[in-house]
A and B are shown apart, each in its own frame.
Chain A
Amino acid sequence: MRISLHIWRQSKKSTKANFKQDGKMVRYQLDHVSPDMSFLEMLDVLNEQLTKKGEEPVAFDHDCREGVCGSCGVMIDGEAHGPESGTTTCQLHMRSFRDGAEIWVEPWRAAAFPVVKDLVVDRSAFDRVVQSGAFISVNTGAPQDANAIPVPKADADRAFDAATCIGCGACVAACKNASAMLFVGAKVSHFLHLPQGRVEREQRARHLVAAMDQEGFGNCTNQNECEAACPKEIPVRVIAEMNREFVRAKVRQEPVSSKRVGGDG
């Protein structure tokens, strides 16, 4: 296959949201692309060519290359992770494109995810949101036997479905408001469906929503673009669950003792 690529090249980290001046699209041509290559293997081939010519290869994040670490992710022809649904960039294969295709490749664009270089963005905002409360406050030690609290299978499955989020950021990139509601909702939903997680449900909802706002993610206006872009098909019901949890938490007074996040008293 013959493929033309237009790739965002940027050498320095963006400091402000107005990213358009920080880099530019550059056109490259590849003449021998195999349909069995993954999208990232196609970029590998490009990078080998660039290196041999003495040009800097295109920087992009990747690691597992099997759709589970959440490292990879770029906008391909304006779609997060490209044209296939339920698929990460590393799992996308060139057989999804036609011979002679022109493909536009850009990094995630969101105020909370500054571009670091080329296609690499800084998603540390996600980590900080998690640090604010997406956990159960148990220390390592000797908790009770794992089977002491039965969990209905349907609940465990719902928790699991939310917990499969890989933290890639496609939901944010796909959203015109750059909202992180699908990602954060997935954390809320994961813990909400487990009895162990319900103990701290109020403070978790409050803290996660506050952290999300503080990081500069936008609001949700129910466009559902996030669900369409999500490679793990996290359902938008998690957003509804988060909203309910937040309202529920607001009407209940925060107990004084839980003010310290994850207090380990």
Chain B
Amino acid sequence: MNLDARIPDGPLEQKWENRKFEQKLVSPANKRKYKVLVVGSGLAGASAAASMAELGYQVECFCFQDSPRRAHSIAAQGGINAAKNYRNDGDSIQRLFYDTVKGGDFRAREANVYRLAQLSVNIIDQAVAAGVPFAREYGGLLDNRSFGGAQVSRTFYARGQTGQQLLLGAYAALSRQIGLKTVKMFPRTEMLDLVLVDGHAKGIVVRDLETGEIRSHAADAVVLATGGYGPVFYLSTNAKGCNVTATWRAHKRGAGFANPCYTQIHPTCIPVSGDHQSKLTLMSESLRNDGRIWVPMKPSDKRKPADIPDAERDYYLERKYPSYGNLAPRDIASRAAMTVCEEGRGIGDTGLGVFLDFRDSIQRVGKQAIAAKYGNLFHMYAKITAEDPYAQPMRIFPAVHYTMGGLWVDYDLQSNVPGLFVLGEANFSDHGSNRLGASALMQGLADGYFVIPYTIGGYLAGQKAGAIKPDHPEFGKIAAGVRDMTKRLLAINGKRTVDDFHKALGKIMWSKCGMSRNEKGLNEALREIPALRAEFWQDVKVVGSEMTMNQSLERAGRVADFLEFGELLCRDALERRESCGGHFREEWQDGGEAKRDDVNFCHVAVWEHRGEGQPPVRHQEPLAFDNVHLAVRSYK
């Protein structure tokens, strides 16, 4: 497997300029001869599709929702980072770069992260020009808030709907190109396989989710921007449709899967209320700007929060991490919450919860000021729990939120399969083993607006335009395989529903490969998942037919992939014998803090698929730190 990251020469600050300069270009007149498929219409996909179309490429864009505007980026709440230093508080590209590398526990590529920090500045300019209504101060300039893992205020936001506003900005740009007929949009269309011709990605096979038709799309390059795989745990803050299907099937065609075990558990979500629960709802990290996290000092203290005096409260993040306090990074805040719950100090009926309390800030700035900043989040909380968070503290608990792992890509965001590019949460590139808050929106838009429009040209310049047509025999072969899988799923007609299997998988994943992991549990998971998968293929019940809209069939395909992918995730967690960021192995810790092993694990783990029944092979891309010092991460 070729894992050359192709990092450009030169000093860190010059690398991206150097790459843009040395890259081969496609002339404006030739661009329109090339076709690019963009799978996904979230921040990464929509911005990529629009920007490439503006340059003149023919673009086809796909999403499984009924409109590109509904991609899961829409749900991002808190904000987007950028090194603008508008606060005059000492921020800089260098600092954002450093915070991100450190936040990721030194498991990301320096060159990629530096470019991300450089481009962050352009994203805000671009979004404002496109009409994104960011929050402003009375003087008319942009406002900022703070996010975890940073001591500067660099997060731009649009109340609690930053993802929505940014996505609508990218969707508007995409819509403009659709109107101009430079992008052809295929909503309600799911990519079910990748087509390689002579080792290059030259197309995809999709299912039209409205009619059931299986179709082939050929092109000169394929871009995947299909988001994260959080729902492999069943319950997560992700949308119900988020899945691993596109990247997993590309993996089975040869694309390396990097660091699948790096998953992020977000500390502030609404706790589970019952078995019927279909998803978990995030309460944005931005709330930690004004909310204080605490549990009672004494175990099993069932008094009402208001009746517990300050002296009997443990503001444990402020106590343990005085310099970052409530803004400690997510992995650390989540583990700290778990620890106090294990000590019997968790709150609520289940004892799996901690308080996020706004009492002090409401006293300080007033209810109205808090409502202006977080109104929609408080409203959402009240809807779900039937409690008033202005009057009593929120109850929160960690939940699966983001997946740092993804398809391996080089500096140009190209996978090891030539012609296959991967953007946004679907790739593994910038966040190491823990993503800092407000940096996924930044990465998705950096990839889509500012990286891919350049780097795709470097690949296309070496390709003959339009050489492959959908009547190429490879398409027929792969489409037949897709039809076959659909038929098999419908034919089983067993006794258990798709959701039933999905929940069973989620249970294994969360209990054995969730917030903390150990060898014994992982080995158990590695036995239980294949058994569950075998049962799925014998006993799942999918009702209805293939040639119509069939939502159970859609879910069945996604769960079938999760049942394969979950195993790889656990295997990766087992093989990474260290703790880093969101990957916490109980065997490697320092009093509850993650203990890295830089001698043996300062690398990206990249998995190669070797076919059904064959164990996958683990490759390594070594990580070099020339500009930051590999240190023990401390937020104390």
Contact = CB atoms under 8 A, between A and B. Distances in A.
Partners in one complex: yes
Nearest to B182: A264
A159 B386 contact: no
A262 interface: yes
B273 A136 contact: no
B279 interface: yes
A135 B176 contact: yes
B276 A37 contact: yes
Interface in B60-79: 65-70, 72, 74-75
B134 A66 contact: no
Contacts of B241: 63
Contacts of A14: none
Interface stretch (A39-47, A74-82, A249-257): A39-47
Interface string B63-102: 0011111101011000000001010000000000000000
A15 interface: no
Contact of A156 (B65, B126, B133): B133
A135 B69 CA distance: 13
A176 interface: no
B334 interface: no
Interface string B435-461: 000000000000001100100000000
Interface string A12-45: 1100000000000000000000101110110011
Interface in A183-205: 190-191, 194, 196-197
A14 B292 CA distance: 53
Given A69-B72, A70-B70, A264-B54, A135 B239 contact: no
Contacts, number: 226
Contact of B543 (A37, A51, A95): A51
B139 interface: yes
A144 B129 CA distance: 8
Interface residues of B, number: 81
B130 A159 contact: no
B125 A142 contact: yes
B630 interface: no
A131 interface: yes
Interface stretch (A52-60, A212-220, A221-229, A238-246): A52-60
A191 B128 CA distance: 12
Interface string A146-172: 110111110011011001101100000
Contact of A65 (B65, B130, B165, B278): B278
Contacts of B179: 131-133, 261-262
A207 to B, nearest CB: 9
Interface in B336-386: 379-380, 383-384, 386
A67 B210 CA distance: 23
Given A123-B66, A126-B67, 9 more contacts: A62-B240, A66-B281, A68-B161, A116-B210, A127-B185, A134-B175, A140-B449, A196-B128, A196-B131
Interface of A: 11-13, 34, 36-38, 40-41, 44-45, 47-48, 50-52, 54-57, 59, 61-71, 86-87, 91, 93, 95, 116-117, 120, 122-124, 126-127, 130-147, 149-153, 156-157, 159-160, 163-164, 166-167, 190-191, 194, 196-197, 261-262, 264
26 contacts: A44-B499, A48-B500, A51-B497, A52-B541, A57-B544, A64-B74, A65-B240, A68-B161, A69-B70, A93-B383, A95-B386, A116-B549, A117-B549, A127-B68, A127-B175, A127-B185, A130-B171, A135-B131, A136-B129, A137-B176, A141-B126, A142-B125, A144-B129, A150-B140, A152-B136, A156-B136
